[in-house]
Amino acid sequence: MMPTISQVYLDGKFLPPEQARVSVFDRGFIFGDGVYEVIPVFGGRLFRLPHHLARLDASLAAIRLRNPHTTEEWKTIFTRLMAEHGTSDQSIYLQITRGVAPRDHAFPPYPVPTVFAYAQPLKYPPAEQLTQGVTAVTTTDIRWQRCDIKAIALLANALLRQQAIEQGAVEAILVRDGVVTEGAASNIFVVKNGRLITPPKGPFILPGITRDLVVEIARTKGVPCDELPVKIETLSSADEVWLTSSTKEILPITRIDGRPVGTGKPGSMHARMFALYKEYKQAFIQGKVE
């Protein structure tokens, strides 16, 4: 069921969703030629906006498309969308495509991007997922070689996530040549002998904003944290495994491929890092950190 949304932003206009229209010749529809971003909003403040816009710039540069707005213009658009939901926790979805053009694989010489955005209430994972953990399955990473681009062409991710759901799991942990890359819609952390380990940035993972924040918090608070390749054997013998994302935050995985992770319950390191994350988020809402 669609969330209750009274307005969206589309190409310079704020409209009711039912009045928003995109051409069937838009390259986002025809080719999946575009990028997107999801920005949480806590206490009426855009969470780590500079980091999200930097990732947006990187994705746009990678597909050779100009950013259609300045930072201040983005803030103006987002602020008007956010007003619908007041100071409640919410998220901004933003999508930019190469726009309308005759169907041709070659880029149009003078593209006019299609820009679409809306705000919706943030849906957190059920409380029992935090207290009991979630299940995951490992799957072969069948995606392309530029997963660092936050592209809207997510069919492979959707197929992998559906494979997990059909096995009664919440997430698919993707493996390429025996090494963990990320989740179908998340980044992955493992805890081994008191150390956090997360796969390093590169073309096979999306540089998650929450991932980066967890690394930042860990290093600030003296928690050992390494960005290193995670072999499937390391995943299998980990004391704890987590997934991170802007909407799921830090979620413990307690079963993988039907086998328990560690004790089969969320671990003490997760409790510590999630508490530190919530402390950071509260400080952000109070304007003490950016």
HEC letters along the chain? CCCCCCCEEECCEEECHHHCCCCCCEHHHHHCCEEEEEEEEECCEECCHHHHHHHHHHHHHHCCCCCCCCHHHHHHHHHHHHHHHCCCCEEEEEEEECCECCCCCCCCCCCCCEEEEEEEECCCCCHHHHHHCEEEEEEECCCCCCCCCCECCCHHHHHHHHHHHHCCCCEEEEEECCEEEEECCEEEEEEECCEEEECCCCCCCCCCHHHHHHHHHHHHCCCCEEECCEEHHHHHCCCEEEEEECCCEEEEEEEECCEECCCCCCCHHHHHHHHHHHHHHHHHHCCCCC
Mark whether 150 is an active-site residue. Answer: yes
Q: Which of 13, 75, 123, 150 is catalytic?
A: 150
> Which residues are catalytic, by number?
150
